[in-house]
Amino acid sequence: MSENDNLQNADGKKEVESTDTTPTQQAEIKTEAKSETEGNDVDNNNVEAEVKQDSETESTDNEPKSSTEAEEAATENASKTDAAKDNHVDEIEASNAEDAEDESNAERHEVEEKDYHAMSMDELNAEISRLLKNHKIQTISKHVNEIKSEFNAKFSELLEEKKEEFIDDGGNEIDFYYTNDAKKQFNAHYKEYKQTINAYYKEREQNLKQNLDNRLQIIEDIKGLLSVEENMGTTYKTFKELQEKWRNAGPIPRDKYNNAWNTYHHHVERFYDFLHLNNDLRDMDFKHNYDQKLKIIERAEELAEDENTNRSFRELQVLHKLWKEELGPVGKEHREAIWERFSNATKAIHDKRQAYFADMDKAHEKNLERKEEIIAKITAIGEDKATSHSAWQKKIKEIEALRDAFFKAGKVPLKVNESTWAKFKNAVRTFNRGKNSFYKNLKKDQYDNLKKKKELIQIAEDNKDSDDFATVTPLMKKIQSDWKKIGHVPRRDSDKIWKQFKSACNHYFDKMHAERKAKDQHLYEAFDKKVKLLDGLKALELSEDPKADIKTLQDKIAEWKDIGYVPQNKRYIDGKFYKAIDDKFDKLKMDKSKLEMIKFESKLENLADPEDTRLLDNEQNFIRKRISDIKSEINQLENNLQFFSNVKSDNPLVKDVHKNIDNHKKELDTWKAKLTKVRGMYN
């Protein structure tokens, strides 16, 4: 059995992350994978036909096979049939085939799930903007569509309210039109999303096609080596160059992945058979591949003992990829045994992982029962129509408690996740519609509320010119608090009375603040000085002498601190100043690590407060966490090097790992220096 023959039948679309896949869902994935394989286009069929044709040609061109060789061929064919039944290998191959189409998938990019239903339209706008700025465009489609659904639902409710107002004010329904800034902003965000995702898929499709063409050409070039008339050393060198080109050819469509690799390995093995004229070259490669595959097997067997099933599965994926993509064939006498051993280790990990998912499914089923109970309670509350404001307020609190319980109940089986979430949203939305309908019809209560608010307006206007701040200020704060508690008034009066009340309150507090400002004039004078200093800093032109420029910037910082405090509501200017300082430091032509420390020291000057060390405490905790994270990353990279113990030091993969380790160590030194500086600030 050829190890490469076993690695097949795995090209299928995998819909979910491996950590959330249940046995049932894996069966569904396999069914889908089969349907996709059967639906491959002509190019795929041509690749398969080519393998068959070249195999027949090889049998014709070479000497007739002996009975022993025929038995070996029959055994190998039987092994291929058995390989199709190796579910534990299929699962690994499905994940690697998916990664083959988009190399960025190798780092699983997770996007946090949020309760979009609980967000306002402005919050939804902020969330879609955050997703567009901070996440890969191909990972946020589900989230963007959920945000779009919630935004449209909320805007539709607002649209109905505005339409009702328009008609109540005597407007004709046919003339009604309404939009707002939130809607315009959302449309702009969604347009940006559509343009970006379309461009991404268009570019990816072109790249995948070009990479596939390049790989197919490499296969043709390897086939052509069998007919080249030159010395074996030159042919072998050309072959190794083609192998290197293959490794760097980039991602290809997932439905072409396995066929392309199998065709490639087929012709690689044909080339090694062709090397029987120079067994030394072939045997040297066979021995290297055999030694490396033994190391992979030993690591897989170690992983089979690891209790962290998700971690062992992810590393097993890497091992399979190394086995298939980085290493070539071994001698025929070893192929059956080493693949059988590797397959057994893979199966052990697969079985342990399936047992883990089975236990997880049981826990998820219990979570599902709990969530269905919560949904039933929300539905019952929504169906029980209350007749008073207090009753509705009680219901609102109950719903909020049930919402919190729902989100704390944990994950449910993946196959019912979306339907459960939809039932929950519908139950909450039904309750909200009943609540909104009740308050829309509270005309009498609204007119009572209007009367109460007009009384507060009168109190505000009677006291707005008072100079007795000690007595009137608590009164004005109280009526502002009372205003918030009164509740709704008729919509046509809402803006008018609010403007009246706000105008009277603002008049009083502006007068009070003006008097206080006169007492705190020195703080406002300090603010004016800082504004001028900030403007001067922005206009400052740096010299070509870094030391002189650093001295200049440090003098600016000292001058800023000497000015002193500004009014509480003006302290935002400190943030603007230190941002401008950082911008100037970034323009200095000097070592980045030294520059980073100088900037950090200026930041610490702003954090230092002998009476309150909370800001320094927070900074110290952050730095310690960063140091710990970097150490973990260095350890992981150094562990990865163990897989390349016999690989030459100029191998691109090895060089890249060493480069990453060096960069992380430099970064670690910088963070350690920062921690020392922070500790020194306490003294």
Q: Where does 457-575 show beta strands of DSSP type E?
A: none
Which pLDDT does position 94 carry in this prediction?
62
Claim: this prediction has a pTM higher than 0.75: no
Please give the C-alpha separations between residue 277 and each of 55, 285, 489, in angstroms, as whole numbers.
20, 15, 97
What are the backbone angles phi and psi of residue 212, rounded to the nearest 5°? -65, -45
pLDDT tier at 14, thresholds 50, 70, 90: very low
Going by the DSSP 8-state scheme, the letter that residue 330 receives in this structure is: -
Residue 311 one-letter amino acid: R
SS3 letters for 190-248? HHHHHHHHHHHHHHHHHHHHHHHHHHHHHHHHHHHHHHCCCCHHHHHHHHHHHHHHHHC
**Position 447 pLDDT exceeds 90:** no
pLDDT above 50 (res 25): no
Note the pLDDT of residue 101. 58
d(CA 338, CA 344): 10
Which pLDDT score is estimated for 286?
83
Identity of the residue numbered 244? E
Residue 476 pLDDT exceeds 90: yes
Higher per-residue pLDDT: 174 or 1? 174
Residues in CB range of 406: below 8 A, 6 or more apart: 371, 374, 375, 424
- Which range among 98-112, 117-131, 305-319, 464-478 shows the weakest confidence by mean pLDDT? 98-112
Contact 252/208 with Cβ under 8 angstroms?
yes
Residue 668: how many CB atoms within 10 A of its CB? 17
Q: What's residue 40's pLDDT?
A: 33
Q: Say what the pLDDT of residue 335 is.
A: 83
CA 606, CA 178: separation in Å to the nearest integer? 48
User: 178 Cβ partners below 8 Å, 6+ apart?
Assistant: 159, 162, 163, 166
Q: How far is CA 308 from CA 55, 160, 303, 359, 513, in A?
A: 43, 53, 9, 14, 62
Alpha-carbon dihedral sign for residues 127, 132, 133, 134: positive
- Using CA atoms, how far residue 360 sits from 90, 118, 229, 366, 481, in Å, is 22, 29, 61, 10, 50
Supply φ then ψ for residue 229, to 5 degrees: -100, 90
Query: Of 362, 359, 356, which is closest to residue 309 (Cα–Cα)?
Result: 356
Tell me the per-residue pLDDT of 338-376, one tens digit each, with 9 for 90 and over: 888 888 888 888 888 888 777 777 778 888 889 999 999
Residue 438 is classified by DSSP as H
* Residue 12 clears pLDDT 60, i.e. is over it: no
Of the candidates 258, 223, 257, the one whose C-alpha atom is nearest the C-alpha of residue 84 is 258
Q: What is the pLDDT of residue 379?
A: 92
C-beta of residue 566 within 8 angstroms of C-beta of residue 573: yes
Of residues 54 and 508, more confidently modeled = 508
More confident residue, 169 or 111: 111
The per-residue pLDDT for range 566-599, each reduced to its tens digit, is: 888 888 888 888 888 888 888 887 777 777 777 7
State the pLDDT at residue 608. Answer: 66
In the chain, the amino acid numbered 330 is V
Percentage of the chain modeled with pLDDT above 70: 80
pLDDT tops 70 at residue 244: yes
Q: How do residues 228-242 score in pLDDT, each as one tens digit?
A: 766 777 888 888 888
Q: How many CB atoms lie within 10 A of CB 505?
A: 21
Please provide the average confidence, as pLDDT, over all residues in the chain: 77
Task: Please tell me the least confidently modeled range out of 280-289, 385-394, 605-614.
Answer: 605-614
